[in-house]
Amino acid sequence: MQLKNDLLLRAALGQPTERTPVWLMRQAGRILPEYRAVRERLSGFKELVETPELAAEVTIQPVDLLDVDAAIIFSDILVVPEAMGCTYEMIEKRGPIFPKTVKTAADVASMRIADPHEHLGYVLDAIKVTKRELNGRVPLIGFAGAPWTIFAYMVEGSGSKTFSHARKMLYEDPELSHTLLQKITATTIAYLQAQVEAGADLIQIFDSWAGILPPAHYKEFSYRYISEICKALPNIPVTIFAKGAFFAMADFAQLDCQVIGLDWNMNVQETRQIIGDNKTLQGNLDPCALYNDFAGVERETKKMLDAFGGDRHIANLGHGVYPDTDPEKVKCFIQTVKEYSQR
């Protein structure tokens, strides 16, 4: 199926574009009243994630309502640990909890390398339904968590400011840590390849907890597995978004990937220098900039666009949009990118 709007893919591959493409991390979600209406009819978050027709509906909402240049499949990075045998619960207003965590060698041994068709078929079905319903309007982004971020949740058992249990395991038992990371990596590679077969047009890897590791640990326990994943996806554009990993950018320049995501702490010019001209950069407006009045949103968005300078840029926030953001401000951000970046 020929895409009617392929700006995202051309920008990812470094081909010329008429303007800068724009989408938002977490665009499908609580900022939209239409999302909350679907969600309220259901038993919870998981029912939405696990019902392909509903997941497709909320995936497409931001395309209809916000006019973004890409859809991202509505799911969660935590479906991967669940497929491996570590189930999660999503607690309203608190976040994810894992009733059973991974602590011992026996726990690690009990985790399976999941077959995506057997254990994550609902995501693959959601991708197929979404592709059919999008009918080529915009590309569909597939995603997964980076192995380190998934490891952090499996060992910690919930979100955390420090993930100190997970980080402790890297010091106490590096070998066992690698065994678990290898299983997560194998599952993730098969899962992402299956997403591509199901119709995903670009893949994004979220390393949300990159920034809490010391650089040497990051290289040993996160970067090498991200690098393996990139090598396993040779025929599709890949974006690596590693929050807080400014110290790893020289390594990221060497990855077999097309796009690097920047959070709002990162200096755009410095990062461009380190990454070089062979990759596209994505980001990086502070999500809090959308709490400005409309004139402020426009001003901050233009400043951000000026910093990237147009070429090889995909406009986005520096992390997911905050749930209490006014959707009209999100639209203002999107329209400003579209008008101001016209070439």
Q: Which of 9, 12, 78, 260 binds ligand CP3 (CB under 6 A)?
A: 78
- Of 176 and 238, which CB lies nearer to ligand CP3 in the complex structure? 238
Pairing of strands 259-261, 238-242: parallel
Q: Name the residue nearer to ligand CP3 (CB basis): 39 or 338.
A: 39
Q: For residues 282 and 12, give the distance between their C-alpha atoms in angstroms, rounded to a whole number.
A: 9
Backbone torsions φ then ψ of 142, nearest 5 degrees: -95, 165
- Choose among 96, 72, 73: nearest CA to 86: 96
Least separation in angstroms between residue 11's CB and ligand CP3 is: 18
Per-residue binder mask for ligand CP3 (CB under 6 A), 292-331, x = binder: ----------------------------x-----------
What is the footprint of ligand CP3 within residues 1-30 (CB under 6 A)? Answer: 25-30
Amino acid at 228: E
Write out the binding residues for ligand CP3, residues 54-73 only, by CB under 6 A.
72
Q: Which is nearer to ligand CP3, 144 or 305 (CB)?
A: 144
Is residue 343 among the annotated active site residues? no
- The two tokens of residue 138 are 């915009």
Is 312 a residue of the active site?
A: no
Show contacts with ligand CP3 in window 167-226 (CB under 6 A). 206, 208
Confirm whether 39 is a catalytic residue.
yes
DSSP labels for 8-73?
A: HHHHHHT---SS--B--TT-SSTT-HHHHHHHHTSS-HHHHHH-HHHHHHHHHHHHHHH--S-EE-
Write out the DSSP string of 87-143.
--EEETTTEEE-SS---SHHHHHH-----HHHHSHHHHHHHHHHHHHHTTSS-EEEE
Q: Which of residues 92-151 bind ligand CP3 (CB under 6 A)?
A: 95-96, 143
| Nearest to ligand CP3 of 121, 159 (CB atom) | 159
Contacts of residue 51, Cβ cutoff 8 Å, sequence gap at least 6: 42, 122
Nearest-CA neighbor of 266 among 246, 294, 292?
246
Task: Report the residue number, 44 or 214, with the smaller CB distance to ligand CP3.
Answer: 44
Active-site option among 88, 153, 218, 223 = 153
Catalytic residues: 26, 30, 39, 76, 153
Which residues make up each annotated binding site? 26-30, 76, 153, 208, 319
Chain contacts with ligand CP3 (rule: CB under 6 A)? 25-30, 39, 45, 72, 74, 76-78, 90, 95-96, 143, 159, 206, 208, 320
